Amino acid sequence: MPFHRPRLGDATFPGRFFHPRPAEPPPNPESTPVESSAPAARQADLLYLADIEPCPLDWLWQDRLAAGTLSMLSGNPGSGKTWLALAIAAALSRGHVPDCTDPAPGSDEPCTILYASTHNAAPELIRPRFAALNGDPARLALLRGIFSAGSAQPAALNLRDLPILEDALQRTHARLLIIDPLHSYLWANDSHRAGHAARAFDNLARLADKHRCCILLVRHLRKRGRGSTPIELSAAVRTEFLAGSSPDAPAFPALVQIKSNLGPLAPSLGYTIDPTGAFSWTGPSNLTPEDVQADRPIGAGLPRRKQAADWLRQHLHDGPLTQGAIEAAAHRDAVCMITIRRAKGDLGILSTKSTLNGCWYWSLPQTGGAKK
């Protein structure tokens, strides 16, 4: 008798391998459960863009600092970051534009600034500097820490103490909060764990938006152009600045904007701190982020630009020369004028005219712009 292999569905197939599914009755509409009208414990927060009214940016400093945002100022020790922060604060306390000595037409009303600093002594450093900058001391409030009833000294403050920061903003109505330096207000593990740092910066951004203030974080650089905090900070801020100078012209520092999510990058602004410690703005600067971030003198890896800078120094060492003479000498020595002009900005070469219709003279900064 031939062997018959059982197939799925045969009556002879063992029951333990085949369990036919019983036919399901059609659904009864009357027995279908109705959705509960009670609100869910958790649900999505939705808002259509059509329901949002557009709101223009509220600038504290046009193209640089905006209310409701985070901003960052970075620089090497000794680059003048605290001077810059106080110069901005002093101008805003008077309703001035920070890089001008007089109020600009249509400038804002004076505003209050909240300044958190652990490294700078108020009587010896902050008060004299703020006075030298002509700031209004009644509009600068120092955030010294957390005061508890029964304690003689305030406890240290960090970025996780959001209720304390919010309390200070509510009491002062400050439009600018300066945290100087940032690393003093980070927990030890915040600066090494991206998740902790990202949450701290996100919370700060929400705080700035809620109170319609700008929070300016002052940060030390570990190396030229390299920060001591994770990249989440650069992602969290809306505008970012570098303070420093070109290694080839250290006497001409500038405030250089390297990031803006709010509009075009603002021009670089020169500043100076004289031997007596007095700060002043010096006007537009040609410095770029690459110049300030350079580890070595100009031309490191760019020999033509380095050669052009050395060539210019040599030719202008004895005094000013006309632009025509420089162009002729560059043609004779086979030095590209485009590179010469870039090196001119790096060195802070001055261009002046002897008369209204006269020719342009180039001179090194220390020699002045007068005709020889």
Task: For residue 205, give the CATH number of its domain.
Answer: 3.40.50.300
Q: Report H helices in the chain.
A: 81-93, 127-132, 162-172, 194-211, 231-236, 289-293, 303-316, 323-333, 337-347
Taking residues 69-79, report their average pLDDT.
91
Q: Give the C-alpha separation, 97 to 37, whole Å.
A: 56
* Cα–Cα distances in angstroms (integers) from residue 81 to residues 89, 128, 269, 290, in the given order: 12, 16, 13, 18
Taking residues 108-122, report their average pLDDT.
86
Closest by CA position to 247, among listed 283, 223, 266: 223
Predicted confidence band of residue 372 (pLDDT cuts 50, 70, 90): very low
* Count of positions (residues) in the chain: 372
In the chain, the DSSP E strands lie at 59-61, 65-66, 70-75, 113-117, 140-143, 176-180, 214-223, 226-227, 239-246, 249-260, 269-273, 279-284, 321-322, 350-353, 360-363
Predicted confidence band of residue 13 (pLDDT cuts 50, 70, 90): very low
Clarify whether residues 124 and 174 are in a common domain. Answer: yes
Residue 42 lies in a domain: no
For residues 91 and 304, which has the higher predicted lDDT (pLDDT)? 91
Predicted confidence band of residue 300 (pLDDT cuts 50, 70, 90): very low
**Residue 221: what pLDDT?**
81
- Domain end among 265, 293, 321: 293
**Residue 270: what pLDDT?**
94
Closest by CA position to 279, among listed 58, 62, 128: 128
8 pLDDT higher than 60: no
- Domain end among 272, 293, 314: 293
Clarify whether residues 151 and 175 are in a common domain. Answer: yes
356 pLDDT higher than 70: no
Q: What is the CATH number of the domain that holds 308?
A: 1.10.10
**Residue 158: what pLDDT?**
87
- Domain end among 293, 315, 342: 293
95 pLDDT higher than 80: yes
Q: Give the C-alpha separation, 32 to 35, whole Å.
A: 10
Clarify whether residues 255 and 283 are in a common domain. Answer: yes
The reply to whether omega before 181 is within 30° of 0 (cis) is yes
Residue 288 lies in a domain: yes
Clarify whether residues 253 and 334 are in a common domain. Answer: no
The pLDDT mean for the chain works out to 80
**Residue 196: what pLDDT?**
66
**Residue 33: what pLDDT?**
55
Taking residues 252-259, report their average pLDDT.
93
Q: Report H helices in 11-80.
A: none
**The two three-digit tokens of residue 131, written as one number:** 């006075």
Contact by Cβ (8 Å): 159, 229: no
Residue 50 lies in a domain: no
Clarify whether residues 357 and 288 are in a common domain. Answer: no
**Residue 2: what pLDDT?**
55
Clarify whether residues 210 and 340 are in a common domain. Answer: no
Closest by CA position to 202, among listed 175, 173, 231, 232: 232
Clarify whether residues 207 and 343 are in a common domain. Answer: no
**Least confident interval from 29-33, 164-168, 245-249:** 29-33
DSSP 94: T
**Residue 43: what pLDDT?**
92
User: What residues have CB less than 8 Å from 135, skipping those under 6 apart?
Assistant: 86, 89, 90, 91, 93, 94
Q: Give the C-alpha separation, 204 to 187, whole Å.
A: 15
Q: Give the C-alpha separation, 155 to 161, whole Å.
A: 11
Could you read off the pLDDT of 177-222 as tens digits, one per residue? 999 988 888 764 454 455 666 788 889 999 999 999 999 999 988 6
Q: Residue 189's domain spans which residues?
A: 59-293
Clarify whether residues 307 and 289 are in a common domain. Answer: no
Tally the domains of the chain.
Answer: 2
Predicted confidence band of residue 28 (pLDDT cuts 50, 70, 90): low
Residue 25 lies in a domain: no
Clarify whether residues 279 and 222 are in a common domain. Answer: yes
Q: Give the C-alpha separation, 74 to 227, whole Å.
A: 8
Taking residues 316-341, report their average pLDDT.
84
Clarify whether residues 230 and 355 are in a common domain. Answer: no
Clarify whether residues 183 and 331 are in a common domain. Answer: no
Residue 83 lies in a domain: yes
**Residue 17: what pLDDT?**
46
DSSP 360: E
Contact by Cβ (8 Å): 232, 182: no
Taking residues 322-326, report their average pLDDT.
88
Helical axes 162-172 vs 194-211, angle rounded to 10° = 20
Residue 7 lies in a domain: no
Could you read off the pLDDT of 142-186 as tens digits, one per residue? 998 888 777 777 788 888 889 999 999 999 999 999 999 888 887
For residues 13 and 284, which has the higher predicted lDDT (pLDDT)? 284
Residue 5 lies in a domain: no
Clarify whether residues 262 and 311 are in a common domain. Answer: no
